[in-house]
Amino acid sequence: MTAPLVDIRGLTLTFGGDSATPVLHGVDLQVARGEILGVIGESGSGKTMTGMALLRLLPGTATVAAEAMTFDGIALPGLDELQFGALRGVRLAMVFQDPVGAFNPSKRVGWHFHHILRRRGETRRAANRARAVSLLGEVGIRRPEETFDLYPHQLSGGMLQRALIALVLALEPDLVVADEPTSNLDKLVEHQILTLFREMQQRLRAGMIFVTHDMAVAAALCDRIAVMRQGVVVETGTAGQIFAAPQHAYTRLLIDTARRLSEGPAKRAQPEPEAGSVPLMRVSGLDVTFPSAGGRGAFRALDGITLDIRRGEVLGLVGESGSGKTTLGRTLLRLLEPSAGSLLYKGRDIAHTPEARLRGIRRELQMVFQDPGGSFNPRKPMHASLADALRATGLRDRAAIASRISGLMQRVGLTDRHAARYPHELSGGQLQRVAIARALALEPELIVADEPVSKLDVSVRAGVLDLFRDIQAETGLAMVFITHDLEVARYLCDRIGVLRHGRLLELGPTGRIFADPQHTYTKTLLATLDYTMSGKHFGAGGYGPDGRA
């Protein structure tokens, strides 16, 4: 019998000293060369921590122990940092859930490729550039030559994740630990990226640990699946076995919840507003052009956007990464100033209102960001950040603030223990839930939610979407919901706008968009639903050699 590429037995992980917090409890995982092992489970189940422990990427407060932990026959615990460093970044690689932290913000994207390719022995800068531009194009970046010369902050979250995946492809490692690598990507590009992962894995006979909350991706891409809950592997089997005949009750819960969201009917649109009624926000001919910088010309991110946002509705924005969804959301809240057009909020044009005069309405316009990690003070526990938001509403009584924080945390599926933690002590999904709680604390008129459930596991996602619905029914707030997940858009949104290359291609009631799309691009997007939990091609996404689950 061939020895596995990775063999983990009895892995335990704790954080802290005397009051140690156990995170992993005797985890056993094996990955064969040329195999993709999917790891699924709720946020905080230990999926990411397992990969981080394997690659020695945990902070100094972590204590890792294992009965055995080997890579290609090498006992990893016995290696010193210099020896382990010769493996990590060459034969071992990780694609993080949050791509921002993987890039040096002071260096251009191209610098990172030069750094990686030098480790592979290629020192010719022209050859490195050509290889990098080719890979950036392969992962779906429209202008790879320009992107090579940009800084990380100049890319959207989805574009940055694609650049990170291209870096890993350049490295050509023996093992890739991929932590939700496509959670920020639209479905069209996701298919392309996963196909690239599979092709790379087959070409190199590489192993892969693929952490995901997307059941359809796990079914189509992974050879085997391990299900984790509360730091324990509760079930392991082939992808076909897990989805056809799950044995553990928790596995059945995950699958059933995903199917409920996938099979749900389109949300019924609100009645058309009466003639002459004033929408909460009216956008007319909105343009956003970023000026020339770093040797590249001006870039038109939004081109003539015209739409209304009605009181009490959820308006969904869908489209590929880089289509302008996030730029539009930020412009609606005047985090960006438009280059042209009008932005009427409650009848008042705020398109070019000075910042000092916007302060009076900032509380009414809130955003839940795509990357929650960058929106919290790393030196403050979560309850302090929530308290700051509540004090902005005029609340001063400490007991009332503490009670409100407790209630907010419960509403988003967390506890007071989570409120006492710092941002780095929460998983990506937990951090996003706190971000949602903070936005709700201000009781806004409009929330722009930028992929607010993209990092949540399936068992929590439906609950958070239901939470948004309940709060909207209670308060009548309006929401612009940016998502690449068409199932989520269908489940939550009253109307949907489809963006591409900064233009609004189609806008209409959710039911009509899904039943009778008018634009060719919309039809192409909706075709990806065939590969979801309720789709006719579920489990055969085309990523593998035989299209099987």
Q: Which tens digit of pLDDT belongs to each residue from 248-293?
A: 999 999 888 888 777 766 666 666 776 677 899 999 999 999 887 6
281-374+445-528 matches 35-45+87-262 in CATH topology: yes
- For 228-289, the DSSP string reads EETTEEEEEEEHHHHHHS--SHHHHHHHHHHHHHHHPPPPPPPPPPPTTPPPSEEEEEEEEE
Looking at residue 271, its pLDDT comes to 67
Q: What pTM does this model have?
A: 0.75
Residue 460 confidence (pLDDT) above 60:
yes
pLDDT given at position 314: 93
Domain 281-374+445-528 has CATH 3.40.50.300: yes
Tokens standing for residue 488: 């989520």
* pLDDT value, residue 342: 96
State the average pLDDT over residues 355-368.
89
What does 150-210 look like in DSSP terms, one character per residue? S-GGGS-HHHHHHHHHHHHHHH--SEEEEESTTTTS-HHHHHHHHHHHHHHHHHHT-EEEE
Confidence bin at 183 (pLDDT 50/70/90): confident
Average pLDDT, the chain: 86
Q: What is the CATH number of domain 35-45+87-262?
A: 3.40.50.300
Instruction: Give the residue from 336, 327, 358 showing the smallest Cα distance to 345.
Output: 358
Gap between the Cα atoms of 501 and 303, Å rounded: 8
Mean pLDDT value across residues 417-425 = 91
Place of tokens 């949540």: 456
Per-residue pLDDT, 535: 57
For 221, the token pair is 């891409």
Cα 19 to Cα 380: distance, rounded to the nearest angstrom:
20
Give the span between the Cα atoms of 193 and 368, in whole angstroms: 26
Indicate the pLDDT class of residue 543, thresholds 50, 70 and 90. Answer: very low
3-state secondary structure of 318: strand
Burial 134-144, CB ≥16 within 10 A → b, else e: ebbebbbbeeb
Spatial distance between the Cα atoms of 214 and 39, rounded to a whole number of angstroms? 10
Helix (H, G, I), strand (E, B), or coil: what is residue 86?
coil
Q: Domain residue spans in the chain?
A: 35-45+87-262, 281-374+445-528
DSSP letters, 336-375, are S--SEEEEEETTEE-TT--HHHHHHHHTTEEEE-S-GGGG
pLDDT of residue 297: 75
Residue 90 pLDDT > 80, yes or no? Answer: yes
Q: Report which DSSP code applies to 2.
A: P
Q: How far is CA 430 from CA 370, 414, 456, in A?
A: 13, 8, 8
Q: What is the pLDDT, as a whole number, of residue 549?
A: 27
Residue 544 is predicted with a pLDDT of 39
What would the pLDDT profile of 389-416 be if each residue is shown by its tens digit?
898 878 889 999 999 999 999 888 889 9
The pLDDT score that the predictor gives to residue 184 is: 67
Rounded (5°) CA angle 303-307-308: 150
Kind and range of the H or E run holding 539: none
pLDDT digits (tens, 9 = 90+) for 207-240: 999 998 888 888 888 999 999 999 999 999 999 9
pLDDT of residue 139: 82
Tell me which residue of 453, 415, 459, 457 sits closest to 436, measured CA to CA: 453
pLDDT in tens, 301-342: 999 999 999 999 999 999 887 789 999 999 999 999 999 999
What SS3 class is residue 400? helix
Distance CA 440, CA 258 (A): 26
- Residue 13: pLDDT band (50, 70, 90) is very high
Number of residues assigned to the chain: 549
- What is the band of 432 on the pLDDT scale with cuts at 50, 70, 90? confident
